[in-house]
């Protein structure tokens, strides 16, 4: 079963989800790029921030989800949005800045894709990505353990789960390609409010494929038990529910062309 994205669900807690994008872009030292591409742009809300950063650039957004691209195109931002799989996407000309935020974790063996992505960047240009680094957190392991139980295993057996690597792995991979690389990690302590806050967060992203794979007769029971276990792992405090979220950031500058 193909996973479909719900832009409205994804934009729940949009401020918290957007902060890593802002911090990633803030470390790209490109002064006046002509072309900037957001690869995995989602509903385009964060892509619009690239216009604020580089007002004279041609900004493009690319995503493989028809629902996300439809939502992005409804916004009037002076930005071109293209439906394409990042594994197959190729620009007409190399771009000055290529950004991929919270996307590569969905691509199996995405380290093998890095040389192709760098080929899309002009010499001296910039590649930047951010991926979650919290796949050993309860928000993921609870879902995986529950999905593996006999009642649900047959329905969820072939569901793809996102994954990423440790920061040093990205540093080594891009340095081996000749880039100057800046890698760091941050663990955010998101304070969430609302009923079943962590479930609401994960159901818009990492848990989505699992929930969609479940047949209608199994999904309510799965969701109820998932919520119960998440509530134990992430207790409600007087000020909200704390969701620790580790993220890994990579900013790489491609070497200039040899003269």
Residue with tokens 């918290």: 16
SS3 122: strand
Cβ 45 vs Cβ 18: under 8 Å: yes
Residue 233 belongs to some domain of the structure? yes
For the full predicted model, state whether its pTM sits above 0.75. yes
Residue 134 belongs to some domain of the structure? yes
Which of the pair, 200 or 17, is modelled with greater confidence? 200
Residue 2 belongs to some domain of the structure? no
Residue 182 belongs to some domain of the structure? yes
pLDDT interval class at 6 (50, 70, 90): very low
Range of the domain at 160: 7-253
Residue 223 belongs to some domain of the structure? yes
Residue 194 belongs to some domain of the structure? yes
What is the number of domains present in the chain? 1
How many C-beta neighbours within 10 Å does residue 21 have?
21
Whether 11 shows a pLDDT value over 80: the answer reads no
Residue 166 belongs to some domain of the structure? yes
User: Which helix or strand (DSSP H or E) is residue 24 part of?
Assistant: helix 14-25
Q: CA triplet 160, 200, 147: central angle to 5 degrees? A: 35
Residue 259 belongs to some domain of the structure? no
Q: What CATH number does residue 228 fall under?
A: 3.40.50.150
For 116-130, the pLDDT digits (tens) are 999 999 999 999 999
């Amino acid at each position: 079963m193909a996973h479909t994205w719900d832009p409205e669900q994804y934009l729940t807690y949009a401020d918290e989800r957007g902060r890593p994008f802002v911090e990633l872009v803030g470390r790209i030292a490109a002064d006046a790029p002509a072309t900037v591409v957001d690869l995995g742009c989602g509903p385009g809300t964060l892509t619009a921030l690239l216009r604020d950063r580089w007002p004279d650039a041609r900004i493009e957004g690319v995503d493989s989800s028809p629902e996300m691209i439809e939502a992005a195109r409804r916004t009037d931002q002076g930005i071109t949005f293209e439906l394409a799989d990042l594994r197959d996407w190729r620009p007409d000309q190399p771009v000055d800045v290529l950004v991929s935020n919270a996307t590569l974790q969905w691509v199996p063996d995405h380290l093998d894709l890095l040389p192709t992505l760098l080929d899309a960047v002009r010499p001296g240009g910039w590649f930047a990505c951010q991926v979650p680094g919290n796949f050993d957190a309860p928000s993921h392991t609870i879902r995986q353990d529950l999905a593996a139980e006999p009642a649900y295993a047959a329905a969820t057996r072939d569901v793809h789960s996102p994954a990423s690597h440790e920061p040093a792995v990205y540093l080594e991979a891009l340095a081996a390609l000749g880039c100057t690389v800046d890698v760091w990690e941050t663990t955010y302590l998101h304070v969430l409010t609302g009923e079943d806050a962590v479930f609401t967060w994960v159901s818009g992203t990492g848990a989505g494929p699992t929930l969609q794979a479940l047949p209608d007769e199994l999904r309510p029971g799965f969701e109820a038990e998932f919520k119960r276990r998440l509530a134990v792992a992430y207790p409600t405090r007087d000020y909200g529910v704390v969701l620790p979220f580790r993220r890994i950031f990579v900013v790489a500058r491609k070497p200039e062309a040899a003269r």
